[in-house]
């Protein structure tokens, strides 16, 4: 193992030998505990020795040394030692990869509402089902096409547990094939011929000799097995460290009985896979294997340490093999703290082809959800892309919509941080012993998890998690309330997802006719091979036939997709933005929401001369362009403070100029104080002219900004404000980033958004 003898000298050199003071940590966490990831080469005695240097000891080994990492441990700290300070100390030791608090996590549902009478399962409905709701998940239409799920697909319910005795769930509860006692495992009959022994089989007469209705409810369920000494035999048959884990595990009480004492997990499970035609509710899947992974207690609260163990449990079950393909975990919980240990656990699952479906969060206690692009919400804000050698992001973040298609008032959102919307308001589902209605992004996520399981059942285990996620996102239905609120601009559409399996490619073909130059002194159509000084030309073209409802013209520049065109009959246009100087080539393709595409158009090339690029300096200064087309920054090219504390005066000096108030570094002239409008730093644009083709560039989207008439130092004009509180209307706390003296006509259509 590594030499730990120099530990105290390292602490002394850091000025931490006395272990005093305190450090800040984001998020709520368990007092007196840390999660510590050691580097490879530190054995378990060495772990204990290292922790002892600050008076800590090992509470639990969450994960042993594996895959180039040392042990992941939960440590108990000595009384009086601040958690954040201890994390800081340990993280700086050479044999520790990271140390972090054991964060507290909680469920993401709102209060229960009275059950509806009639149309209670609107989240399952489609626009052509009976009953019908166009904003439902369209699961009913997938059922009509014959897609109802499979017992060979498993889903991890990482939550408060599951009522495994429920009449609508007991047949779809996972039975651990490697924990069935060897004494009679070979004697059990696979009565439905699906290649595994499930509770469907155990309820068949052929297996009556091996089970007993211990709880007397008239059926064989997990509650019977967990109270039958033939099954609960005290042996860890699968040698995974969890004795008698027949249906999952309770990480709260560290036992094999993951029964739900809250109701949240059972509600989630019912949406994913409540069985059909039995007088109760029905889930997206009529058949699936639900793995109960309880890490949240009766109050809906849990820790990151237990969530990590729950995720690793399912990853381990997947590695163990068997007839069940574990497609996803459902994660309807969260908090505001980043955990490297949690992300590592999600990555381990993704490496086993397990998707991670997460609730986007319910930040809307004031009637407006939080923007996850501005304020991360975990685990929905994690990404596995580039982690652990993965080339895709296994996390799917889900916002909640209402039965009328609106973004639910409580739901978080984010133009890149949240992937899609799904039914999450007044959702009727199973609860322990019965049924109930709940609302929240907690209820939206399981609709998506159910869709992942349904699609996996249809395509088989050979399809990658990345391909399944892409098929899911490509099949959304565009929804006005989600425009610029989620990555796909749309909501879950299970019918399109499933029917895409038999969909033929589009027959219409796109062509590019010309581009339109509307910048500078010369404007008009530009043919292929010519030059333009317009860095945001409008690419124009035609399609060979009118498009179907789910088809779009997809435009690419230099081989990379850049957006969807606006189509009017057989004509289409696409306004490109911020094209750099040089030669560029555009192509267009007709594609449907399932990802099927026609052949690409013939390439269309232009030489873009582009504007002069003029930068300012740090601090307040004046930047003046020339008579030609210029792109003007008031900050330097390498500045990291992007105008904070400065008032820059920007003058174009010609036509077709672009005044930059934001770029890839983000928003300029933001003092970071959300309590005032920041009138002491902004860009003052002196000669803006819409008639001459001038533009203002900002970072973000049109929903992020407001225009408001204002007076500064006795001069009236138009102010450009960042909508600090995301309420869509100006108030005194919105951040001023630009001022146009004398201007009364500025519109958001005069802006370029990057």
What average pLDDT does the segment 545-559 reach? 86
In 3D, which of 246, 289, 267 has the Cα closest to residue 159? Answer: 267
Q: Which fold has domain 7-106?
A: Alpha-Beta Plaits (3.30.70)
Compute CA 363 distance to the chain's CA centroid, rounded to the nearest angstrom.
15
Give the span between the Cα atoms of 533 and 535, in whole angstroms. Answer: 6
Superfamily of segment(s) 510-608: Immunoglobulins (2.60.40.10)
Residue 11: pLDDT band with limits 50, 70, 90: very low
Residue 150 has pLDDT above 80, yes or no: yes
Q: DSSP E strands: which ranges in 53-170? A: 57-63, 69-76, 96-107, 149-159
What average pLDDT does the segment 485-511 reach? 88
Residue 114: pLDDT band with limits 50, 70, 90: very low
Give the span between the Cα atoms of 539 and 537, in whole angstroms. Answer: 6
**677 vs 342, higher pLDDT:** 342
- What residues contact residue 517 under an 8 Å CB cut-off, 6+ apart? 523, 524, 525, 526, 532, 533, 534, 537
Give the span between the Cα atoms of 695 and 747, in whole angstroms. Answer: 10
What average pLDDT does the segment 676-705 reach? 90
Residue 367 has pLDDT above 80, yes or no: no
Lowest mean pLDDT among 121-130, 140-149, 305-314, 361-370: 361-370
Q: Secondary structure of 717-748 in the HEC alphabet? A: EEEEEECCCCCCCCCCCCEEEEEEECCCCCCH
Condensed to tens digits (0 to 9), the pLDDT of residues 503-530 reads 566 889 999 999 998 765 456 888 998 8
**451 vs 506, higher pLDDT:** 451
What local confidence, expressed as pLDDT, does residue 593 receive?
56
Condensed to tens digits (0 to 9), the pLDDT of residues 709-723 reads 999 999 999 999 999
What local confidence, expressed as pLDDT, does residue 115 receive?
29
Give the span between the Cα atoms of 533 and 711, in whole angstroms. Answer: 35
Lowest mean pLDDT among 122-131, 617-626, 694-703: 122-131
Report which listed range, 273-282, 423-432, 620-629, is most confident: 423-432
What average pLDDT does the segment 14-37 reach? 60
What local confidence, expressed as pLDDT, does residue 179 receive?
95
What local confidence, expressed as pLDDT, does residue 353 receive?
95
Residue 356 has pLDDT above 90, yes or no: yes
Give the span between the Cα atoms of 17 and 495, in whole angstroms. Answer: 62
- The architecture that CATH gives domain 122-174+247-501 is 3-Layer(aba) Sandwich (3.40)
Please report, rounded to a whole number, the percentage of residues in the chain having pLDDT higher than 70.
92
Give the span between the Cα atoms of 752 and 702, in whole angstroms. Answer: 9
Residue 320 has pLDDT above 90, yes or no: no
What average pLDDT does the segment 355-368 reach? 86
Residue 362: pLDDT band with limits 50, 70, 90: very high
Maximum distance among all Cα pairs of the chain, rounded to whole angstroms:
93
Give the span between the Cα atoms of 493 and 507, in whole angstroms. Answer: 23
What local confidence, expressed as pLDDT, does residue 699 receive?
92
Residues in the chain: 754
Q: Give the start-to-end residue ranges of the domains of the chain.
A: 7-106, 122-174+247-501, 181-245, 510-608, 612-753
- Whole-number mean pLDDT of the chain? 88
What local confidence, expressed as pLDDT, does residue 288 receive?
97
In 3D, which of 180, 178, 192, 427 has the Cα closest to residue 287? Answer: 192
What average pLDDT does the segment 228-238 reach? 94
Residue 134 has pLDDT above 60, yes or no: yes
Residue 118 has pLDDT above 50, yes or no: no
Give the span between the Cα atoms of 354 and 141, in whole angstroms. Answer: 26
What average pLDDT does the segment 546-570 reach? 87
Give the span between the Cα atoms of 187 and 334, in whole angstroms. Answer: 43
What average pLDDT does the segment 174-200 reach? 94
What local confidence, expressed as pLDDT, does residue 28 receive?
84
Per DSSP, helices labelled H in 577-728 are: none
What local confidence, expressed as pLDDT, does residue 466 receive?
93
Residue 119: pLDDT band with limits 50, 70, 90: low
- Cα 610 to Cα 178, 238, 517, 628, 632, distances in angstroms: 65, 66, 12, 10, 13
| Inter-residue contact 189 to 204 (CB < 8 Å) | yes
Condensed to tens digits (0 to 9), the pLDDT of residues 57-77 reads 989 889 888 777 888 999 999
What local confidence, expressed as pLDDT, does residue 707 receive?
95
What local confidence, expressed as pLDDT, does residue 594 receive?
57
């Amino acid at each position: 193992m590594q030499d730990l003898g120099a530990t105290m000298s390292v602490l002394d050199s850091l000025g931490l030998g006395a272990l005093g003071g305190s450090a800040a940590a984001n998020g709520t966490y368990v007092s007196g505990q840390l999660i510590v990831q050691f580097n490879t080469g530190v054995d378990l005695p060495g772990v204990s020795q290292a922790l002892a240097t600050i008076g800590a000891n090992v509470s639990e080994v969450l994960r042993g040394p594996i895959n180039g990492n040392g042990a992941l441990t939960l440590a108990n700290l000595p009384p009086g030692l601040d958690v954040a300070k201890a994390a800081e100390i340990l993280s700086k030791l050479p044999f520790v990869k990271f140390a972090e608090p054991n964060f507290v996590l909680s469920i993401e549902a709102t209060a229960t509402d009275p059950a509806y009478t009639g149309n209670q399962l609107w989240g399952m409905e489609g626009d052509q089902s009976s009953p019908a709701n166009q904003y439902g998940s369209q699961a009913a239409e997938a059922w009509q096409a014959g897609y109802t799920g499979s017992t060979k697909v498993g889903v991890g319910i990482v939550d408060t547990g599951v009522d495994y005795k429920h009449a609508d769930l007991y047949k779809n509860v996972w039975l651990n094939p490697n924990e069935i006692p060897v004494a009679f495992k070979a004697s059990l009959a696979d009565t439905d011929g699906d290649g595994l022994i499930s509770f469907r089989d155990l309820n068949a007469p052929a297996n009556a000799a091996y089970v007993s209705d211990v709880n007397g409810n008239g059926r064989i369920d997990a509650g019977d097995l967990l109270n039958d000494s033939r099954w609960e035999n005290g042996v860890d048959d699968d040698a995974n460290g969890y004795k008698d884990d027949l249906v999952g595990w309770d990480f709260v009480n560290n036992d094999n009985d993951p029964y739900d004492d809250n109701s949240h997990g059972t509600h989630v499970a019912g949406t994913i896979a409540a069985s059909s035609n039995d007088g109760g509710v029905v889930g997206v899947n009529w058949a699936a294997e639900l793995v109960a992974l309880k890490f949240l207690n009766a109050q809906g609260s849990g820790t990151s340490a237990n969530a990590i163990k729950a995720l690793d449990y399912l990853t381990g079950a997947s590695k163990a093999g068997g007839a069940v393909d574990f497609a996803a975990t459902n994660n309807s919980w969260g908090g505001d703290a980043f955990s490297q240990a949690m992300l590592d656990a999600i990555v381990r699952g993704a490496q086993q082809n397990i998707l991670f479906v997460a609730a986007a969060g319910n930040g809307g206690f004031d009637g407006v959800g939080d923007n996850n692009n501005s304020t991360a919400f975990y685990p929905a804000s994690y990404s596995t892309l580039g982690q652990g050698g993965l080339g895709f992001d296994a996390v799917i973040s889900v916002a909640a919509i209402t039965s009328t298609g609106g973004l639910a008032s409580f739901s978080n959102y984010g133009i890149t941080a949240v992937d899609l919307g799904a039914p999450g308001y007044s959702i009727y589902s199973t609860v322990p012993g019965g049924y109930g209605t709940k609302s929240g992004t907690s209820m939206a996520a399981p609709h998506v998890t159910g869709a992942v399981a349904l699609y996996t059942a249809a395509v088989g285990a050979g399809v990658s998690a990345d391909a399944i996620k892409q098929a899911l996102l490509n099949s959304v239905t565009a929804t006005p309330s989600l425009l610029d609120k989620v990555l796909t601009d749309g909501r879950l559409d299970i019918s399109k997802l499933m029917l895409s399996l038999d969909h033929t490619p589009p027959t219409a073909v796109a062509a590019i006719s010309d581009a339109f130059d509307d910048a500078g002194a010369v404007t008009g159509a530009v043919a292929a091979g010519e030059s333009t000084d317009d860095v945001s030309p409008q690419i124009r073209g035609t399609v060979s036939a009118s498009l179907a409802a789910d088809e779009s013209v997809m435009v690419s520049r230099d081989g990379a997709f850049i957006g969807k065109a606006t189509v009017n009959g057989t004509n289409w246009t696409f306004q490109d933005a911020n094209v750099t100087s040089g030669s560029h080539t555009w192509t267009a393709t007709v594609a449907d929401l399932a990802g099927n595409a026609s052949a690409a158009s013939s390439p269309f090339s232009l030489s873009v001369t582009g504007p002069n690029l003029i930068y300012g300096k740090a601090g307040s200064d004046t930047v003046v362009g020339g008579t030609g087309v210029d792109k003007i920054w008031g900050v330097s090219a390498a500045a990291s403070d992007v105008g904070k504390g400065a008032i820059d005066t920007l003058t174009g000096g010609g036509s077709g100029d672009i005044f930059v108030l934001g770029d890839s570094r983000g928003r300029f002239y933001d003092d970071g104080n959300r309590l005032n409008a920041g009138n002491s730093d902004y860009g003052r644009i002196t000669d803006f002219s819409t008639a001459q083709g001038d533009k203002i560039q900002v970072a973000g989207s049109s929903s992020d900004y407001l225009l408001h008439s204002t007076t500064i130092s006795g001069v009236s004009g138009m102010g450009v404000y960042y909508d600090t509180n995301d309420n869509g209307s100006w108030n005194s706390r919105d951040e001023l980033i630009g001022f146009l003296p004398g201007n009364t006509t500025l519109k958001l259509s005069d802006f370029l958004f990057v």
